């Protein structure tokens, strides 16, 4: 089949737009990573979600309101595909793993959380990060700060300002160093966004009474 030379650049641009217009977030090695992030697991299933299919513009507006910031860029379009890992022990579902992309100081950051059925963080994992303080932000000491927290603990965190009220549990979360401060704020935004998406996609539906 012949393609008109004048139309070819337009077709190529359209294909690229479809391929790169929405940037998802998947575990690089799910078998290995699930076993590491959820040691009690024996298996998992995957489910694919998006704000567009889950509620569209109305849901996006609600998520932005809860986040305290607008979605923007390739990482946060309404049709971004989110991969939800449903974690099992035998036939019993015991939790979830979910990741989000977040714009960082020098590039994209991928932040994954493993969550219990109660919505509390069990493990924190940065898969992708380009930063001068990457080692510090990926350290076990830094990640351990998030264990046991849930959305209510970060509800008052303001990602636009990069801070929370003095009374908020979020103030207990500390940057590992001054060099990491900017990307620490990006990570905090990613964690709050992740928890909000999980609440909208999963927990609010599971806890909804008929």
Predicted pLDDT at 94: 98
| 26 phi, psi to nearest 5 deg | -120, 150
Give tens-digit pLDDT for 107-136. Answer: 999 999 999 999 999 999 999 999 999 999
| Cβ-based neighbours of 180, under 8 Å, separated by 6 or more | 131, 132, 133, 136, 137
Domain ranges of the chain: 22-206
pTM equals 0.88
Give percent of the chain with pLDDT exceeding 70.
Answer: 88
Report d(CA 12, CA 23) in Å as an integer: 18
- Residue 22: the pLDDT is 59
Q: How many CA atoms lie within 13 A of 37 on its CB side?
A: 34
Q: How far is CA 27 from the centre of its chain?
A: 11
Dihedral through CA 92, CA 48, CA 142, CA 193, nearest 10? -120
Residue 210 has pLDDT above 70, yes or no: no
Given a cut of 50, whether residue 15 has pLDDT beyond it is no
* Rounded Cα distance, 69 and 39, in Å: 34
pLDDT at 9: 36
| Confidence (pLDDT) at 98 | 98
- pLDDT tens digits, one per residue of 143-160: 999 999 999 999 999 999
Residues 6 or more apart in contact with residue 12 via CB below 8 angstroms: none
Distances (CA, A) of 6 to 2, 9, 10, 34, 82: 12, 7, 8, 48, 36
- Burial of 25 per CB tally in 10 Å (0-12, 13-18, 19+): buried
């Amino acid at each position: 089949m012949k393609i008109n030379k004048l139309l070819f650049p337009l077709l190529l641009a359209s294909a690229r737009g479809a391929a790169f217009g929405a940037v998802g977030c998947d575990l690089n090695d799910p078998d290995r990573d699930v076993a590491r992030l959820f040691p009690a697991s024996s298996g998992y299933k995957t489910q694919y979600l998006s704000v567009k299919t889950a509620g569209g513009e109305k849901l996006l507006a609600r998520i932005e309101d809860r986040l305290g910031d607008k979605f923007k860029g390739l990482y946060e379009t309404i049709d971004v595909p989110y991969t939800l890992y449903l974690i099992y022990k035998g036939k019993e579902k015991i939790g979830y793993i979910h990741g989000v992309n977040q714009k960082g100081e020098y590039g994209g950051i991928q932040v994954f959380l493993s969550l219990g059925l109660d919505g509390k963080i069990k493990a924190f994992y940065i898969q992708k990060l380009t930063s001068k303080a990457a080692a510090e932000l990926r350290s076990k000491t830094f990640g351990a700060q998030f264990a046991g927290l849930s959305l209510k603990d970060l509800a008052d965190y303001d990602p636009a300002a990069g801070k929370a009220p003095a009374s908020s549990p979020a103030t207990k979360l500390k940057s590992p160093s001054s060099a990491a401060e900017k990307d620490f704020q990006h990570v905090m935004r990613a964690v709050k966004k992740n928890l909000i998406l999980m609440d909208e996609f999963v927990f609010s539906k599971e806890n909804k009474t008929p």
